[in-house]
Structure 1
Amino acid sequence: MFKSAVFNLEEASKEQFQEFLNSFDTVLSDCDGVLWINNNAIPGSADVMNYFRKLGKRVFYVTNNSTKIRADFAVKAQELGFIAEPEEILSTAYLVAHYLKGIGFKKKVYLIGSNGIGDELKAVGIRHTGVGPDNVKPDFKSMTQADLDPEVGAVVVGFDEHVSYPKFMKAASYLANDECLFVATNTDERFPKSTSIIVPGTGTLVRAVETCSERKALVLGKPNDYVRKFLESFGLDPARTLMIGDRCNTDIEFGVRCGFQTLLVLTGVTSTKDLEKMRTERKQPLPDVVLPKLEFGEKGCLQRRARPQG
């Protein structure tokens, strides 16, 4: 409807906004930076997502976060005021397990990641090792072949707060075998921030392992094709699907690749300054529409405009 127009929905007329609402049947939303930051809901976001559902639209939560299983994401969403069920959550931890099960993987996974991925792997019968600290020893170069698990047939990289030099050494050593699979959840550079402290994202770890292993990972999360192929099983009509996100290089790029409509909110990674620079330079991908945050604001007053009469 507003193809790559970066149209501010707060400036939409009543008719324009109603036309926008009527233009999609399915809503896909990123979570961190769009709906919540850490354990705090972004004001108004739950109202919007729940209202979409009341209008009869299908809702899915599509997140590159790999730290939780789908059931835990659903619980978190519910506690923050969102209507959500585990089957509506599409997380990268789940995608990893789904992918490996789908290709008939039978060996063990060496995991640079968290219990979120580990538990999803366990749920489909795939063994794993590597979760938790692997402390650096005084003579870290003394690692030998005996420190490696001969059953490992894949290295999976997700977010790991315990990342260490020994983990990189093991990952690279496993990947020296060309038959060892190399899978990553996502390449997000950093987490959405609520303070001035930068929290490096999974992309930091993926690039490190790619560098020391001299191999490229198969990345499953947004904006890559595996998410699109997975969503196709739900029979989505791309032209009538809306993707909401806070990152142009993942969420909006994903929406553009899939032929979805796109809505960018400015509560996460992509800032107003970033967006203005992209718009001035016409740097793709540009969102169709934009809002300062996912909220039924007073100026745009989306809820009042869209509420059925009578």
Structure 2
Amino acid sequence: MAGATASGGCQKIRGVQLHELLESKHNVLFDCDGVIWNGETAVAGAPEVVRALKQRGKRVFFVTNNCTRPRQSYVQKFARLGFADVDEQEIFSSAYCSAAYLRDVATFSGKVFAIGCPGVHAELRDAGISVVEEEEDGPDVNISNCALDPDVRAVLVGYDEKFSFMKLAKACCYLRDSECLFLATDPDPWHPLRGGRITPGSGSLTAALETASSRKATVIGKPSRFMFECIASQFDLDPESSLMVGDRLETDIVFGVNCGLSTVLTLTGVSTFEQAQVYKDSDEPKKKDFVPDYVVESIADFLEALEE
């Protein structure tokens, strides 16, 4: 391909080549954090890109591992940041997909013990799933004498800024029952914050529980195929006509590879072009799954390409 910096994946692309790629796809899946926005600031050109794609008849979806808020709250954020035409049905978060999995796929009857922010609890309740109501434990309450709900049949772990030893211990007790489901919203180990700081992600909390319980969680979010299956079941998506755009190699790009989608890495978030090249040059076959088909500086490049 003309203008490419390398062959066999990890190609920097823009202009006519990017225009041709977008013309060949009917569905475009975007990650949010690091692609569409960073915190409370939209990536330059992102609202215009989403609008332009829709005006050209493309179907646009937002696929995020961020489980902190329910979908309606995401709609409000999109509107606040200048995205005037994003519908709730186009948003697939790991919290929403976890609730969909428990409702539609899992052989499940009972309550869920959910470790997570309000977004996780809200999506579970919206799906009609019973959630253990956690009360503040008194000073004399510990894991030896705390109340455990006998109706719990699943443990779900997501991002939780109020994660505690007691939550970990209770989850371990529930998971001693081999029939109790063990799910994780996503495997993200950490998330970037302003000023170069980071915060532990759902994957870190899940790893703690996996170690303590000697069990492995079923991951719902990217790079699991279930998120794509969740969208495809509602909108009849063909993988070959779909494009995944993300900023994180180990989740977004691997997700695209797992689902048979073309992939684009944007450099406005976590992963770098240099990291992608390291994976491309690796002798380990599995590392090839981390290599995007194409790389853009920003999704603002899409706008220029759409105007070609």
- The TM-score with structure 1 as length reference comes to 0.88
Structure 1 unaligned spans of 5+: 297-301
Relative to 1, partners in 2 of residues 1:90 and 1:69: Cα closer, same or farther, differing over 3 Å?
same
SS of 1:199's equivalent in the other structure is strand
Q: Does the aligned pair in 2 maintain the 1:157–1:205 contact within 8 Å? A: yes
Q: Does the aligned pair in 2 maintain the 1:33–1:192 contact within 8 Å? A: no
In 2, Cα distance between equivalents of 1:192 and 1:198: 5
Deviations 1:20-43 (A, max 9, x none): 221101000000111112221111
What's the offset of the Cα at 1:133?
6.8
Q: Does the aligned pair in 1 maintain the 2:31–2:252 contact within 8 Å? A: yes
In 2, Cα distance between equivalents of 1:248 and 1:132: 39
Give the equivalent residue in structure 1 for 2:297: 292
SS of 1:191's equivalent in the other structure is strand
What's the offset of the Cα at 1:146?
4.6
In 1, Cα distance between equivalents of 2:28 and 2:175: 38
Q: Cα RMSD over matched residues?
A: 2.3
Q: What letter is aligned with 2:98?
A: V
Deviations 1:94-129 (A, max 9, x none): 112111111363311111101111111111221212
In 1, Cα distance between equivalents of 2:300 and 2:258: 26
What's the offset of the Cα at 1:55?
1.3
Give the equivalent residue in structure 1 for 2:267: 266
Counterpart selection for 1:127 from 123, 126, 130:
130
Q: Does the aligned pair in 1 maintain the 2:92–2:231 contact within 8 Å? A: no
Deviations 1:47-74 (A, max 9, x none): 2222111111000000111111111111
SS of 1:24's equivalent in the other structure is coil
Q: What letter is aligned with 2:58?
A: K
Q: Aligned ranges for residues 249-260 of structure 1 at < 5 Å?
A: 249-260=250-261
In 2, Cα distance between equivalents of 1:115 and 1:267: 27
Q: Aligned ranges for residues 42-61 of structure 1 at < 5 Å?
A: 42-61=43-62
Relative to 1, partners in 2 of residues 1:274 and 1:304: Cα closer, same or farther, differing over 3 Å?
closer
In 2, Cα distance between equivalents of 1:41 and 1:252: 21
Q: Which moved more, 1:203-212 or 1:116-125?
A: 116-125
What's the offset of the Cα at 1:306?
2.8
In 1, Cα distance between equivalents of 2:18 and 2:272: 24
Q: Does the aligned pair in 1 maintain the 2:111–2:152 contact within 8 Å? A: yes
Q: What letter is aligned with 1:286?
A: V
Q: Which moved more, 1:111-120 or 1:1-10?
A: 1-10
Q: What letter is aligned with 1:6?
A: C
Deviations 1:165-198 (A, max 9, x none): 1111000011011111111100111114442101
Q: Does the aligned pair in 2 maintain the 1:37–1:193 contact within 8 Å? A: no
Relative to 1, partners in 2 of residues 1:220 and 1:305: Cα closer, same or farther, differing over 3 Å?
closer
Q: What letter is aligned with 2:300?
A: E
What's the offset of the Cα at 1:145?
5.6
In 1, Cα distance between equivalents of 2:137 and 2:273: 40
Q: What letter is aligned with 1:273?
A: E
* Paired positions, count: 297
Give the equivalent residue in structure 2 for 1:67: 68
Q: Aligned ranges for residues 131-170 of structure 1 at < 5 Å?
A: 142-144=142-144, 146-170=146-170
In 1, Cα distance between equivalents of 2:181 and 2:71: 24
Q: What letter is aligned with 2:190?
A: R
In 2, Cα distance between equivalents of 1:64 and 1:207: 16
1:109 aligns with 2:112: yes
SS of 1:244's equivalent in the other structure is strand
Q: Aligned ranges for residues 78-227 of structure 1 at < 5 Å?
A: 78-82=79-83, 83-102=85-104, 103=106, 105-129=108-132, 142-144=142-144, 146-227=146-227
Q: Aligned ranges for residues 270-285 of structure 1 at < 5 Å?
A: 270-281=271-282, 283-284=287-288, 285=290
In 2, Cα distance between equivalents of 1:23 and 1:208: 43
